[in-house]
């Protein structure tokens, strides 16, 4: 893995007046490029396969130049070229997932955020250890399938992009549904409404919601669209459809903007604080964008079912600002906030606190 020390050395050679922001052409790249341009940065689009044409339709979100590779894993070979261009890489979900977090850790280009988080995020047990030891509530785990006495979600390990889950209401459901050739874990099925909160933690900004090590922000909230579960009910009930061998899937296809009951905001910030503080204790910090993926129960409790430690695609509805970020300043997306942080890091000569 590229160490913080190595990242700092790479940065030392950079021309700070000509930093470029680079990311992979997918996921939230339009927003990242748009935000970078608004803050005065040139941008590099890393395209896998071919230079995508759709950016031509969105001039503000189009990178200034492209680096084209055949496969995600070939990105690693472009590190030298990127460093020559003074590139700082902004990772997003698809970037890390498709390149592979191990490869990503070895990418010899300064990257925004803490790469150490990857070890904690990509392993379900360590993720749970981090979040629960921080004091955040998660859905309970059922160790023994025979103990299933309430609805549960069975998740196969390595399940990605919303596939590889199933719902069981009892042990019989479990036995009928399980593929024992795959590793899985069983968690309590939480009833409620989902909110994906888009946080930002800055160890270098001065004003705002103060924590020991910096300031915490929450810029926007979305809810994910999932195919086919979202509209499945229109065809019939889960129970009847199962008889026809039609099963739910949870593939993310898009996002809708939401706002949260205002009285829950104190809890939102407290959760963010706990997760950030614990990250500093465990692995050197969580800085930049992150997202807590939560369910709000009928008792108005949050259950966190996942954390994403970088920009999520759920920020895309808010490319020109959200009902939350508008209370900070006009026209502030998460993509722009990232570029702003890098700019601030350059101005204050504190890039080492936000780049690894």
CB nearer its own copies, residue 1 or residue 251? 251
CB under 8 A: which stretch of 2-10, 64-72, 125-133, 264-272 binds its own copies? 264-272
* Residues 6+ positions from 3 with CB-CB distance below 8 Å: none
Least distance in Å: CB of 135 to its own copies? 17
The residue within the footprint of its own copies, chosen from 23, 114, 116, 255 (CB under 8 A), is: 255
HSE-CB for 282 with a 13 A CA cutoff: 23
Residue 334 structure tokens: 């998460």
* Member of 38, 103, 124, 169 binding its own copies (CB under 8 A): 169
DSSP 8-class letter at 311: B
- C-alpha dist (Å) from residue 99 to 46, 51, 82, 92, 170: 12, 18, 16, 11, 38
Q: Note whether 218 binds its own copies by CB under 8 A.
A: yes
Residue 176 interacts with its own copies (CB under 8 A): yes or no: no
CB of residue 348 vs its own copies: minimum separation in angstroms?
20
- Give CA–CA dist 153/186, Å, rounded: 6
Which listed residue (1, 8, 79, 258) binds its own copies by CB under 8 A? 258
DSSP single-letter state for residue 189: P
Q: Which two tokens stand for residue 335?
A: 């993509």
305 contributes a contact to its own copies by CB under 8 A? no
Report, in angstroms and rounded to the nearest whole number, the Rg of the chain calculated over CA atoms.
Answer: 21
Q: Interface with its own copies includes 13 (CB under 8 A)?
A: no
Residue 99 touching its own copies (CB under 8 A) = no
- Parallel, antiparallel or unpaired: strands 184-188 and 141-142: antiparallel
What is the token pair recorded at 162? Answer: 């919303």
254 binds its own copies (CB under 8 A): yes
Binding region for its own copies (CB under 8 A) out of 179-187, 280-288, 311-319, 343-351: 311-319
Select from 7-15, 133-141, 215-223, 282-290 the region that touches its own copies (CB under 8 A): 215-223
Q: Is 40 in the site for its own copies (CB under 8 A)?
A: no
């Amino acid at each position: 893995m590229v160490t913080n020390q190595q990242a700092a050395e790479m940065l030392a050679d950079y021309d700070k007046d000509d930093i470029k922001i680079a990311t992979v052409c997918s996921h939230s790249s339009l927003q990242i490029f748009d935000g970078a341009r608004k803050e005065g940065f040139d941008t590099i689009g890393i395209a896998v396969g071919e230079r995508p044409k759709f950016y031509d339709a969105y001039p503000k979100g189009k990178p200034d130049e492209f680096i084209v590779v055949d496969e995600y894993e070939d990105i690693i070979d472009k590190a030298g070229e990127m460093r020559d261009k003074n590139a700082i890489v902004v990772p997003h979900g698809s970037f890390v997932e498709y390149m592979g977090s191990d490869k990503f850790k070895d990418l010899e280009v300064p990257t925004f955020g803490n790469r150490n988080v990857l070890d904690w995020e990509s392993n379900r047990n360590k993720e749970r250890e981090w979040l629960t030891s921080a004091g955040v509530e998660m859905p309970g785990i059922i160790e023994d399938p025979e103990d299933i006495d309430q609805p549960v979600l069975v998740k196969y390990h390595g399940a990605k992009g919303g596939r590889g889950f199933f719902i069981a209401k009892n042990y019989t459901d479990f036995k009928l549904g399980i593929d024992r050739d795959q590793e899985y874990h069983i968690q309590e099925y939480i009833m409620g409404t989902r909110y994906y909160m888009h946080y930002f933690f800055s160890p270098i900004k001065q004003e705002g919601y103060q924590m020991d090590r910096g300031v915490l922000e929450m810029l926007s909230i979305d809810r994910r669209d999932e195919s086919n579960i979202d509209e499945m009910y229109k065809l019939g009930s889960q129970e009847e459809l199962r008889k026809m061998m039609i099963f739910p899937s949870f593939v993310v296809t898009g996002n809708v903007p939401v706002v949260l009951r205002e009285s829950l905001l104190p809890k939102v910030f407290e959760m963010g604080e706990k997760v950030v503080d614990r990250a500093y204790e465990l692995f050197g910090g969580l800085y930049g964008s992150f997202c807590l993926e939560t369910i709000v129960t009928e008792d108005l409790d949050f259950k966190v079912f996942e954390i994403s430690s970088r920009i999520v695609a759920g920020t895309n509805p808010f490319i020109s600002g959200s009902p939350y970020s508008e209370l900070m300043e006009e026209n502030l997306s998460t993509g722009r906030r990232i570029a702003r942080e890098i700019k601030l890091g350059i101005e204050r000569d504190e890039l080492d606190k936000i780049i690894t």
